[in-house]
């Protein structure tokens, strides 16, 4: 082994030790928080809604993430947040800012450890491949909102490479069509843009975005390990103006509006133009 190889390995050692500690603390903290969250789910719903915010903030601190927020999150209970999706870190970012439950593909429920965490978050699992169940799934989401749960939907249906926003699927926008039994009004919709602009204090370019973006056939644990070795991300989150499906006319129009709003902001943020409100 050359002197340069030895030096390189020694220089990497602190990063490896730090990433190992972070990974260990993620597991330990989840184990410690789980009993309180389970208690909240069973006996004290406000705790079950509030505790994930503090846990996600701890995890963001642990990985060195810096989150910049603009815009104002909707405060109503009957709100459907629509967001672009780049990586599993999106869950921590949004979950640290608003009391929400996420809507995820049904495969997530079976993932080791992360599926368990998703259940603790009170995630709603759906199977997008079964179109015959689309109405029943939409009804279930409406019932969750009617019972006071604010939901986050990733209408791309998968995660992207972070350089663009994939086309939105409009089916789940039907959740905002019918009036809720509790209020007599339909849920409002709030588009949210989540953009990763930096890594370890440096601007994040197209070639480095794969260090954060988790998509395609990437395996979760190897990607998480590489991400932790790379340093903390800089994240730009913008809460856009709320809209209603009644204003826009149809779920497809609502989907198109949210996609245009989010993709425009993502493009501007990636080019260094941040919206200030």
Looking up tokens 């699992």 gives 125
Q: In whole angstroms, what is the distance from residue 110 CA to residue 94 CA?
A: 22
276 has a pLDDT exceeding 50: no
Q: Is the pLDDT of residue 5 over 60?
A: no
Q: For the segment 74-92, what is each residue's pLDDT rounded down to a tens digit?
A: 999 899 999 999 999 999 9
What's the pLDDT at 9?
A: 45
What does the pLDDT read at residue 58? 97
Where residue 178 falls among pLDDT bands split at 50, 70, 90?
confident
Give the tokens for residue 27.
């597991």
Q: For residue 98, how far is the Cα from the chain centroid?
A: 11
- pLDDT tens, residue by residue, 201-226: 888 888 888 899 999 889 999 999 99
As a whole number, mean pLDDT of residues 173-197 equals 88
Q: Is the pLDDT of residue 7 over 50?
A: no
Question: What is the dihedral angle through the alpha carbons of 147, 55, 118, 197, rounded to the nearest 10 degrees?
Answer: 110
Q: What is the mean pLDDT of the chain?
A: 89
Kindly report the pTM of this predicted structure.
0.91
pLDDT classification of 252: cutoffs 50, 70, 90: very high
pLDDT band at 177 (very low <50, low <70, confident <90, very high): confident
Q: What pLDDT, on the 0 to 100 scale, is given for residue 11?
A: 52
Query: CA 240, CA 244: separation in Å to the nearest integer?
Result: 13
Judged by DSSP in three states, 249 sits in coil
Whether 156 shows a pLDDT value over 80: the answer reads yes
Tens digits of residue pLDDT in 44-69: 999 999 999 999 999 999 999 999 99
Is 6's pLDDT higher than 70? no
Read off the DSSP letter of residue 77.
S
Instruction: Tell me: pLDDT of 144 over 80.
Output: yes
Q: How confident is the model at residue 179 (pLDDT cuts 50, 70, 90)?
A: confident
Q: What percent of the chain has pLDDT over 70?
A: 93
Tell me the C-alpha distance between 253 and 247, whole Å: 10
Tell me what pLDDT residue 202 has.
Answer: 87
- Cα–Cα nearest to 266, from 90, 4, 97, 5: 90
What pLDDT band is residue 264 in, cutting at 50, 70 and 90?
very high
Confidence of residue 10 (pLDDT cuts 50, 70, 90): very low
- Boundaries of every domain in the chain: 64-270
Q: Work out the pLDDT band at 277, boundaries 50, 70, 90.
A: very low
């Amino acid at each position: 082994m050359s002197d340069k190889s030895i030096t390189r390995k020694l220089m990497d050692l602190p990063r490896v030790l730090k990433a190992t500690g972070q990974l260990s603390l993620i597991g330990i903290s989840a184990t410690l928080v789980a009993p309180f969250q389970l208690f909240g789910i069973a006996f004290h719903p406000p705790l079950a809604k509030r505790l994930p915010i503090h846990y996600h903030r701890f995890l963001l601190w642990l990985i060195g993430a810096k989150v910049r927020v603009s815009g104002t999150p909707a405060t109503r209970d009957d709100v459907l947040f629509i967001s672009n999706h780049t990586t599993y870190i999106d869950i921590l970012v949004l979950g640290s800012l608003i009391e929400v439950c996420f809507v995820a593909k049904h495969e997530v429920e079976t993932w080791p450890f992360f599926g368990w965490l998703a259940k603790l978050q009170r995630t709603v699992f759906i199977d997008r491949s079964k179109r015959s169940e689309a109405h029943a799934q939409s009804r279930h989401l409406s019932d969750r909102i009617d019972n006071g749960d604010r939901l986050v939907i990733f209408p791309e249906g998968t995660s992207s490479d972070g350089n663009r926003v994939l086309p939105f699927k409009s089916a789940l926008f039907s959740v905002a069509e019918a009036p809720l039994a509790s209020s007599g009004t339909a849920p409002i919709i709030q588009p949210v843009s989540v953009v990763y602009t930096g890594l370890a204090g440096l601007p994040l370019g197209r070639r480095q975005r794969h260090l954060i973006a988790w998509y395609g056939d990437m395996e979760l644990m190897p990607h998480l390990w590489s991400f932790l070795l790379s340093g903390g991300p800089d994240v730009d989150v913008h809460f856009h103006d709320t809209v209603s499906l009644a204003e826009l006319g149809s779920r497809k129009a609502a989907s198109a509006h949210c996609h245009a709003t989010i993709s425009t902001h993502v493009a501007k943020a990636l080019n260094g133009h941040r919206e200030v409100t």
